[in-house]
Chains A and B, each alone.
Chain A
Amino acid sequence: MLMNKHLRTIFHVLAVALVIAVAFGLRTRAAEKLPIDYDEDDYLRAGQEFAHLIRTSDWRGFLDTNYRPEHPPLAKIAYGLAFLHLPERALVSDVAITDSPAQYLPPDQLHAARTEASIFGALTAGLVALVNPLGGLMLAIHSFTIKYTSQVMLDGLSALLSLGTVMAYVQYKKKQRTGWMITSAVLLGLTADSKFLHGTIGFAILLDWFFLAKNNKDVKRFFKSALFWGLLSIAVFFAANPFLWPNPIERLQVTLDAVRVTTTNSNVANAGYVAWQQLNWLTMSVPWPQNGAFIFLADTFIALLAVIGFGRLWKKERVFGIWILLEIFILLVWRTKWPQYILIVTAPLALAAGEGILTLWQPVVEWWKKRGSAVPARGPERSEERRALPWLIPGLVAFALLTLIPLVFQFAISLTDFNSSSLRDGLNGGIWRAVWEGLTGQARASGFDISARSNQVNFTGLNTFSPVFQYISGRADGWSILYFNVMWTVLTVLLQCGLGLGAALLLWQKGVRLGKFWQALFILPWAIPELIGAQMWLNIFHGDWGWLRLAAEKFGADSIFGFVSSALHASPSLWLLEFLLPAIWYGFPFMMLAASAGLKTIPQEALDAAAMDGANAWQTFRAIVWPLLTPLIIPALIVRGIFSFNQFYLFQTYYFQDATLATLSYNVFNPNSGYSNVSGGYFAVSAVINILTVVILMIFVTLFNRWSRAGEGVTYA
């Protein structure tokens, strides 16, 4: 047993070392290849200034030096330290914050600063690996984290310090040693000295601490300890921030002014990012061509794994879960949406992803353990199979002809570059020729190039899948079709369920007048074909002749109509409402009917008993109504979710082509019109998108089978 423990420790240490090595390797590789980005010149210059001060022993100079004062000086001083062993270079020129990235920076200093950032990044991955090596690995290969911890940014040091803060707190939680608490407070102060935004993890710690104390009924001591902890971190923050010393109030004012400039400048406005942009960044890999700086572009899968593993992480160590939720909330409300900000959350995200791998791994392990021990289930009788055959064969032939063969054919198309230019060749057997030659090894798989359209069908193998996946998961302009599709599904289903359940509960009350009338009225949107419903809503929201716009013209810009109309058009994100409202409108009747059907099954006695026990309405709902509703509501939610995920007519009517996979696939395919970014008629790309859709819908169907008894095999009723 003891031996085992030692072995485990050795393995753990080895794993951590491996993660650090991988992380450092990937980051230095990126540091060499990445082009110079925004802000790198600024922080390099700040580092140069500090290096000069240190070299000349001008310690007083620290009091007045903080180039780009919107950020505190610590991380910039750290860059200065990296320049000490290098010859002094001319200061990088001071340009406006909105200018394009610098063309040239002194190569030796750039190299030194980027190497320093890479070290911080690798250490962060190593710290995560201490908690869970798989999580460390996830952070090591996370492309956005690599990018911003191998360029001259402030996030490398801040992310390292903030992770240290939380881990010291976790140690304190486990061992109750004051030393760990002090370490955590000191690290928090230093974190805030590196980049303010990262300092917000202090609140995550406080929340977790408070919940813990509340559980232990020890809130009083919590307030005392937390006050000490908070004051100490603030003291450290001031102590390690010489820029504040001469006149804290005035210098904080300088900082705030600078922050205002950086959050309201023209670049921010021009980017036009949606309110949930940070979630786009979090679910995509770095979308820009970066000179081949990244080997893995797997951020989307890391995010997916994090969603899967979140519950497990929460159970293991809640503070990391709170960290994720709190920082995502801050990212959502913070005005500027630059991608480097996501580094405040990628460390715990990677931990959740590590837990996600374990979650997925569990069933495999169980299956492996169970193998052999289980009695093999008795197969169906031969005679019964023979009886089934005359029914199966005609049905299977029809099903195969109409459904399966087209899908197989679709897969064949996805292995080629078939498009409108090669239509003639493709229709004359070119698709089979290309696939046959490719699969038998007669032709090499050619690379995929969206701009080239050969007039002969070529075999591309699976080469099309990766670029298409990159395109739908993250585009250079920051939009992610995949994320929007998923967010759309979740949002609409929740809203539809909310209104549907609400309406059903209203009508379920005893003695509600006109119940039948209301129910019939509410069903209307469900009955109206989606195309026409979309028209009806377009007739309200259309920018030129919609009801809202016409009302705004008639009643003036000061009227409520004018206000709503201009708000919808001025905001980069409020347009979502123009789609959400129709979606709720379509979907809530279905949920209402499902909920009503469920409510009818609730026995009156149960409600009477609850009333006798003096339960209020909410308690009755939580304890009796909701549990009895879920067997019906959850399958209904999944069915509605599938509808939402496949939503097509609504977006097509509004001509919003980048909304869902279905819309994108149709417009990329349609040879008669076209798609905004590439002209239509790219059949192979559309086929690839459809196959990705099939894979995603498999998840939905698996969920449905788990939650509904409808998919069970033969029943002998």
Chain B
Amino acid sequence: MHRISLLRQLVTQLALIVVGFFVILPIWGMMRLAFDGSLIGRPTEFRLFPKVWAFEPFLRVLDKPYQSVDFAVILKNSLLVSFGAALIAIILGLSLAYAFARFRFRAQQTGLFSILLTAVLPPVAFMTPLYIIFSILQIRTSLFALILVYAAFAMPFCIWNMRAAFQAVPRELEEAAFLDGAGDFKTFFFITLPLALPSIAVAGLIAFLMAYSEFTLGWLFVDKADNVTLAMAIYAIVTNQYLGGAQPWSYLGSLAIIMSIPVVVIFLIFQRTLLERMMFGSVDN
């Protein structure tokens, strides 16, 4: 195939610009709000650019974004919950994933089906029972409960993906270790696990992102301002605005941007791997 002609290049670029405009438009809308220092409440007039360029909303948000709780506390909550959930999901799911990847046993297909099914359930489907169970156990409002909720939500997905990761480790390596006299556990910890670790980390990353950007379950479980995560804070500002709250909309904008930046960076770096994981292993390596 030849390189495309100039005309085709032009038409292509034009089409790409249209798509790019569609992509950027809503993002730009939020940016404009975030950098507008003149906003007292919600925006009242149409503007393409901020009326008064200001960085102040960012500083204010980085100080106390929600109900006089420090940004550091909220960020800490977010990271704690997300890391905790990812870690629990990975560690607890590890052995099951390996079992499904390497051994044959009865009801294996049924098991796989259940894991995949639970992996695609909406978070709401876990929320109902966990809310009640944690209420019975009287731990519902703690951050630990939130960690468990997100872990429960992310675990089936992690199991599914770690299974694929283990499958990708060449069987011969394990057999060689086995011949050298290593038992199942030794082989797993010294051969298979280290080789699968990068893929497992990606599964963990996705679990982390799930918890990081979740807010509705959070608001159902948490009732103290001190236990709020970033996503929850954003949603709180939004609902607060609906009820006629007085915070400038620039806070919402800047918080949204602050929250998105790390995720966007992660996605740009790992796009191909994340795509594979999110397609539950349908992409060939």
Contacts and interface: CB of A to CB of B under 8 A. Distances in A.
Given A398-B155, A716-B171, A527 B216 contact: no
B54 interface: no
Given A527-B267, A632-B282, A662-B122, A554 B45 contact: yes
A506 B16 contact: yes
Nearest to B25: A540
A593 B271 contact: yes
B231 interface: yes
Contacts of B171: 716-717
A407 to B, nearest CB: 7
A516 to B, nearest CB: 11
Contact of B9 (A387, A511, A594): A511
Interface stretch (A53-61, A226-234, A443-451, A690-698): A690-698
B213 A392 contact: no
Nearest to A642: B120
B92 interface: yes
Contacts of A539: 26, 29-30, 33
Nearest to B137: A427
A interface majority secondary structure: helix
B59 interface: no
Given A426-B132, A550-B43, A635-B282, A387 B23 contact: no
A549 B170 CA distance: 59
A63 to B, nearest CB: 61
A591 B257 CA distance: 24
A374 interface: no
B137 to A, nearest CB: 10
B180 interface: no
Contact of B15 (A396, A506, A666): A506
Interface of B: 1-4, 8-9, 12-13, 15-16, 19-20, 22-27, 29-30, 33, 42-46, 92-106, 108-109, 112-118, 120-133, 135-136, 148, 151-152, 155-156, 159, 164, 167-171, 184-185, 209, 212-213, 215-216, 219-220, 231, 234-235, 238, 242, 252, 256, 259-260, 263-264, 266-268, 271-272, 275, 278-284
Interface of A: 379-381, 384-385, 387-388, 390-392, 394-396, 398-399, 402-407, 409-410, 413, 418, 423, 426-427, 431, 499, 502-503, 506-507, 509-514, 518, 520-533, 535-537, 539-540, 544-545, 547, 550-551, 553-555, 582, 585, 590, 593-594, 597, 601, 604, 607-608, 611, 631-632, 635-636, 639, 642, 646, 648-649, 652-653, 655, 661-662, 665-666, 669-670, 672, 683, 686-687, 690, 693-694, 697-698, 700-701, 704-705, 708-711, 713-717
Report, nearest first, the 5 A-B pairs whose CB atoms are least far apart.
A395-B96, A527-B267, A529-B213, A388-B103, A536-B26
Given A418-B132, A709-B282, 4 more contacts: A406-B152, A537-B26, A708-B281, A714-B100
24 contacts: A395-B93, A405-B129, A506-B15, A506-B16, A512-B13, A523-B268, A523-B271, A528-B260, A529-B212, A530-B213, A531-B215, A532-B234, A540-B26, A593-B275, A597-B272, A636-B279, A653-B238, A669-B131, A672-B220, A683-B132, A690-B128, A710-B282, A711-B112, A713-B104
